[in-house]
Copies of this chain bind each other. A is one copy, B any other.
Amino acid sequence: MKIGIVGLGLIGGSLGLDFRAAGHWVGGVSRQQATCDFAIAQGVADAAGSDFELLRDAEVVFVCTPLGVMQQTTQALIPFLKAETILTDVGSVKASVVESLEPLWPRFIGGHPMAGKEVAGIQAAQAHLFVDRPYVLTPSSNTPGDIKAVLIELIQTLGSKYYECSPAQHDRAVAWISHLPVMVSASLIAACQQEPETSSLALAQALASSGFRDTSRVGGGNSELGRMMAQYNRDELLRSIQFYRQSLGQIEMAIEQNRWDDLETFLSQTHQDRTNFVD
């Protein structure tokens, strides 16, 4: 199959490695010549350049740019596509992306391969990045029935776990498990840093250990990505923050009112509930 990848970063680059390893032809498009050279040298793509002309024969094209430029990139891309070409994206939010891309191309389906790494860029691309990771497709009522099967086969090539839901369901779920944690975790760092006593702040910084490290990790991550999550999944994120405030309020009230048994019951429940989310 001839596969196009627009945007050669961590996700686009890793997709290229796996698709080529599976015997597909991969054409990569990036505005940076250095990225294209790197992609060829590392086996990410069979051909790479800044010209969409490269994807003239592509049967499936993955848009792998940052969320903020997906619409304009796709607008520039579509004059070069064959009418049969399947278009998909890898954005980490789906309702707003599907809303902006679907009208541009009839054979579009939204997607989200959920394999993040701490580092970004094609230098971080790696084979097998998506193995055992979720890959969500978000067909809408407008999605042509035949294109899903093509993508599912490619997703199986990656070794990913396939999920399917509406764009709205996707965004609600990732608000909970990805976007809310970033804001909760960033608030922790910001709160600690607000300690007005210099000596107490210095001692806290010196004593911080694995508990603080883990809880603060995603809140100390890529700020541009954090902004995009919020900007493109605003309503679901705000909704999840509302629920979060209630939970924090329950804990705070229990402590204020010295209801220690209630607090322990609450924490027993979270201990148990966590196993529904992660091992």
Chain B residues, Cβ within 8 Å of A189: 270, 273-274, 277
**Of the residues B182, B200, B214, contact of A218 by C-beta under 8 Å:** B214
The proximity string for A residues 112-142 relative to B, scoring 1 for CB distances below 8 Å and 0 otherwise, is: 0010100000000000000001101000000
Chain B residues, Cβ within 8 Å of A190: 247, 250-251, 266, 269-270, 273
| Contact-size category for A | 35 or more
Residue A207 at the chain B interface, CB threshold 8 Å: yes
| Complex contact B192–A204 (CB within 8 A) | no
| Complex contact B243–A194 (CB within 8 A) | yes
| Complex contact A217–B214 (CB within 8 A) | yes
Within 8 A of B (CB), among A33-52: none
A83-91, A98-106, A227-235 - the one binding chain B: A227-235
Chain B residues, Cβ within 8 Å of A176: 191-192, 195, 200, 204
Residue A110 at the chain B interface, CB threshold 8 Å: no
Residue A1 at the chain B interface, CB threshold 8 Å: no
Chain B residues, Cβ within 8 Å of A206: 134, 163, 173
Given contacts A211-B218, A230-B263, 16 further A-B contacts (CB under 8 A): A173-B207, A177-B212, A180-B191, A181-B212, A188-B247, A194-B246, A204-B277, A214-B218, A220-B273, A221-B271, A223-B271, A231-B258, A231-B260, A231-B263, A241-B248, A241-B252
